[in-house]
Structure 1
Amino acid sequence: MLRKSLVSSFLALGLTFAPAIAAAGEGAECTQGKLSLQAVVDKHLKAVGGKERLKAVKSFQLTTIAKEGDTVTTINMQRARPNLVRYDMDKNGTKVTKVFDGQQGWMAEGTAAPQRLDKEKNAMMAEGAAFDDALLDPKARGVTLAMDGVEEVNGASAFKLVLTRGATTEVRFIDQTSFLEVRRTYAGTHEGKAYNKAVTFSDYRNVDGIMVSHRVQWAADGKQGEKVIQSARYDAPIDAAVFKPATPRS
């Protein structure tokens, strides 16, 4: 049986894998000389690479090294439309695979047979497996979107976009100059316990026409860590078989 600490830690780590990109509809406006919510999202979209480019993406592959204290985790991630994702992870020598096959999430440690994720963990993985960012169509994702003024992040002003889904709140900070996301906070409950997590994004680089943060730092439950991208690629072919739970680690 999988150790509970491994399951929880990898689910928490998964929150940092959402790419620091977003998409939105047309119709930017200015209200009383200030940028409206839609205008901010549209400018963010343009800074990232453009709505058409984001919607045209079919797959995404990423290799990262994450560090938290003495723990070093190498993660190979593969994603494909509409909601397929696979993580192959090596955490200080312990190998774990997580797969979402489009309906059900699975997890396997070492050579053990994959096990189904329970209802709560499966819902979390399903949400994270959605290929397009929630800002592309908030209503379809059950998200209420609002803007909550401006706040300073790392010495620069950033717009605050608040995404609410049920009891979960996510705040994204969009730099007023670059219109790239520089910080994100999460608040909600997991396994009956409240959690708060803060993530910062930096070192943006162009990957196949899309700006991607190559350095992510996070803080949660008194712990801190960072993830550095080693390689990233969009639209490279991916064998659909890798998203099946019984597939051996490649």
Structure 2
Amino acid sequence: MNKIALTIIASIITFGLQAETVDQVIEQARAYLGSEKALKSVNTIQYKGRVIDADGTESGKIFLQFKRPNLQRLELDSASNVETTGVNGFEGWRERIDKENPMRSGVMVLPPTQVQYLIANARENLNFFDGPKTTPGGKIELEGSEKIRGKDGWKVLFQYPGGLTYTRFFDKKTGALIATESGTPNQDAATLPTMVEDGAMEVSGIKFPKEVKTYNGDELVRSVVFDEIKVNDPIDDSIFDFPAIPSRIPTTKP
């Protein structure tokens, strides 16, 4: 057998082993969260929680909703304004309601790239590490092993069209998620935020984080603490559509 044939066979074998290893890492990570039946049955997820600054001060409340296949709505309620971002699978928008001066309130249409990112983020949350598999052009790659936050982990790259990536580190022993880095094209790797999940809440047979901490390097930037998580409660598709502006802008201060 000639050298070229041997090289081709070796490449095929290597690819097969790598693909199997990637599948095994994802399978272990999903099993840590819950059974395949529980994960695949999820149609909607709703999170209610609080945003806590690095100094421990509560700076706002958060209400985050997802619905299959790729719908997302995020509402951030702070002392000065309510900012809501939504995407309905093909268009996205951001509405800001100024509590002090309603005349400064308004709605903007999000650019296509940001809509694409939000759609990918919705798929990430609803598919439990299988998001790229549900997206044309998406892929998952094993980048090797790495010690992170004192644990031996697998480093896995989740890629979406448009350049959005999530780099995740999974505990080799348990499959638990250790940390996540997200990035977009042309973003300096040194500025990538690192998200670390802490604590657990079990809902409908699935483990969800009680808290998500965001770090810049070793410095804590903020935390989101979840007070309530609901799975498969009905959500009307209309809440993801472009808002009716007059009915959403308050006429008096709260």
- TM-score, normalisation: structure 2: 0.74
Look up the match of 2:90. 103
Residues 66 and 74 in structure 1, CA contact (< 8 A), matched pair in contact too: yes
What per-residue deviation string (whole Å, max 9, x for no partner) do you get for residues 125-151 of structure 1? 222233434525537342332222322
Aligned length: 216
Deviates more, 1:229-238 or 1:139-148: 139-148
Q: CA deviation at 1:64?
A: 1.7
Match of 1:218 among 214, 235, 239: 214
Deviates more, 1:103-112 or 1:161-170: 161-170
Instruction: Give the whole-Å Cα distance in 1 for the aligned partners of 2:36 and 2:78.
Output: 36
Q: CA deviation at 1:42?
A: 0.9
- Among the aligned pairs, what percent are the same residue? 19
Look up the match of 2:226. 229
Instruction: Give the whole-Å Cα distance in 2 for the aligned partners of 1:80 and 1:167.
Output: 23
- The answer to whether residue 68 in structure 2 is matched with residue 75 in structure 1 is no
* Structure 2 unaligned regions, length at least 5: 1-15, 249-254
Look up the match of 1:197. 193
Instruction: Give the whole-Å Cα distance in 2 for the aligned partners of 1:116 and 1:184.
Output: 28
Q: CA deviation at 1:154?
A: 2.9
Match of 2:49 among 30, 48, 64: 64
What per-residue deviation string (whole Å, max 9, x for no partner) do you get for residues 160-218 of structure 1? 112234644421111123211120112333xx654512111121221111111111111
Read off the aligned partner of 1:75 and give its amino acid letter: I
Distance 1:113-1:186 versus aligned 2 partners, 3 A rule: closer
- The answer to whether residue 44 in structure 2 is matched with residue 44 in structure 1 is no
What per-residue deviation string (whole Å, max 9, x for no partner) do you get for residues 35-91 of structure 1? 822111111111111222212111111012122346712111121112222112113
Distance 1:243-1:180 versus aligned 2 partners, 3 A rule: same
Read off the aligned partner of 2:233 and give its amino acid letter: A
Read off the aligned partner of 2:196 and give its amino acid letter: T
Instruction: Give the whole-Å Cα distance in 2 for the aligned partners of 1:85 and 1:170.
Output: 18
Look up the match of 1:116. 109
Distance 1:125-1:47 versus aligned 2 partners, 3 A rule: same
Instruction: Give the whole-Å Cα distance in 1 for the aligned partners of 2:176 and 2:39.
Output: 15
- The answer to whether residue 144 in structure 2 is matched with residue 149 in structure 1 is yes
Instruction: Give the whole-Å Cα distance in 2 for the aligned partners of 1:234 and 1:186.
Output: 25
Residues 132 and 159 in structure 2, CA contact (< 8 A), matched pair in contact too: no
Instruction: Give the whole-Å Cα distance in 1 for the aligned partners of 2:132 and 2:117.
Output: 18
Distance 1:205-1:103 versus aligned 2 partners, 3 A rule: same
Q: CA deviation at 1:31?
A: 6.0
Matches within 5 A, 1:102-181: 102-110=89-97, 112-130=105-123, 131-133=126-128, 135-138=130-133, 140-165=135-160, 167-181=163-177
Distance 1:205-1:237 versus aligned 2 partners, 3 A rule: same
Distance 1:134-1:142 versus aligned 2 partners, 3 A rule: farther
Distance 1:136-1:100 versus aligned 2 partners, 3 A rule: closer
Instruction: Give the whole-Å Cα distance in 2 for the aligned partners of 1:234 and 1:102.
Output: 20
Distance 1:225-1:141 versus aligned 2 partners, 3 A rule: farther
Look up the match of 1:54. 39
Instruction: Give the whole-Å Cα distance in 1 for the aligned partners of 2:71 and 2:120.
Output: 11
Greater percentage in helix? 2
- Give the number of the structure whose alpha-carbon radius of gyration is greater: 2
Distance 1:227-1:128 versus aligned 2 partners, 3 A rule: same
